[in-house]
């Protein structure tokens, strides 16, 4: 697999790499960023945190605004940020911000015309780890996953759908029950078709109700988030985890919104939480 390094930038003793490659999963070029901490320069492998971004984002949003590099450098964590969807003139799109390019929802679409390129679960779980491991010293026995909004949905569902793959999972303002909110109903209906039974396999609350388990979950949610009651519904995740006996730390952060001001404020908390579980 040929990788095209777009940039390498020094930061906190480590390096930020922006890389492009031709994806077999999506059939398009895909771009991702990787922060490699200074501990890796000795040749040692390092635990990896996968970060899944939200609607409209690319790899660049968290790479430039996430304020994760100092903590990752201290903790010895590799941090990988992929794009949120396939892109290109041949990729079906939508004029709305919450669907199409920039809004892949981390599922493998089954419905035309989206099934030709929108295979984001396969990309994140199968292809991208192989690509990253071929070029960067990740320890594939020590993986964590987190994400924001749509990416929080992706982090939760992929951890639940692939038990044992990730040692820890957290999220910032996740869409926890896409089957029950407008963003999710629109995307899952178009990508997966009208059968709501298929949607349950990509809905964190439904997966937990249907028996999927992870050891524990950390969620931060802004109390001033304008999407809180209509699209995010952390109360539904709280109820599902309580019924299933999954330890959930749900922190409502008063005054914080849905933006990277919120994410960057609590990013270090999440990285330290993951590091404790990746090094245990």
Give the C-alpha separation, 115 to 167, whole Å. Answer: 30
Q: Show the 3-state SS of the chain.
A: CCEEEEEEEEECCEEEEEEEEECCCCCCEEEEEEEECHHHHHCCCEEEEEEECCCCCCHHHHHHHCCCHHHHHHHCCEEEEECCCCCCCCCCCCCCCCCECCECCCCECCCCCHHHCCEHHHHHHHHHHHHHHHHCCEEEEEEEEEEECHHHHHHHHHHHHCCCCCCEEEEECCCCCHHHCHHHHHHHHHHHCCCHHHHHHHCHHHHHHCCCCCCCEEEEEECCCCCHHHHHCHHHHHHHHHHHCCCEEEEEECCCCCCHHHHHHHHHHHHHHHHHHHCC
Distance from C-alpha of 241 to C-alpha of 222, rounded to nearest angstrom: 20
| CA atoms of 146 and 174, how far apart (whole Å) | 10
Tell me how far apart the alpha carbons of residues 16 and 14 are, in angstroms, rounded to a whole number. Answer: 7
Which residues are catalytic, by number? 149, 225, 258
CB 161 within 8 A of CB 207: yes
């Amino acid at each position: 697999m040929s990788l095209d390094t777009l940039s390498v930038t020094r930061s906190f003793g480590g390096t930020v790499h922006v890389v492009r490659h031709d994806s077999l999963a999506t059939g398009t070029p895909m771009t991702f960023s990787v922060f490699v901490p200074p501990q890796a320069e000795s040749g040692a492998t390092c635990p990896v945190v996968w970060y899944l971004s939200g609607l409209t984002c690319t790899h660049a949003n968290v790479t430039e605004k996430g304020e994760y590099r100092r903590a990752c450098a201290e903790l010895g964590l590799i941090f990988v940020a992929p794009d949120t969807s396939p892109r290109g003139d041949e990729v079906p799109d939508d004029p709305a911000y919450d669907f199409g390019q920039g809004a892949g929802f981390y599922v493998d679409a089954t419905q035309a015309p989206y099934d030709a390129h929108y295979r984001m679960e396969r990309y994140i779980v199968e292809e991208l780890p192989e690509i990253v491991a071929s070029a960067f010293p990740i320890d594939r026995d020590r993986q964590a996953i987190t994400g924001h909004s749509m990416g929080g949905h992706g982090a939760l569902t992929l951890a639940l759908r692939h038990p044992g793959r990730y040692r820890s999972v957290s999220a910032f303002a996740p869409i926890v029950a896409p089957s029950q909110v407008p963003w999710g109903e629109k995307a899952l209906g178009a990508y997966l078709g009208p059968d709501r039974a298929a949607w349950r396999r990509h809905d964190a609350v439904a997966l937990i109700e249907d028996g999927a388990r992870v050891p524990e979950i950390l969620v931060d949610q802004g109390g001033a988030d304008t999407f809180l009651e209509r699209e995010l519904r952390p109360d539904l995740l709280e109820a599902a985890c309580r019924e299933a006996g999954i330890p959930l730390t749900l922190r409502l952060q008063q005054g914080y919104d849905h933006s990277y001001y919120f994410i960057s404020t609590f990013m270090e908390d999440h990285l330290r939480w993951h590091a404790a579980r990746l090094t245990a």
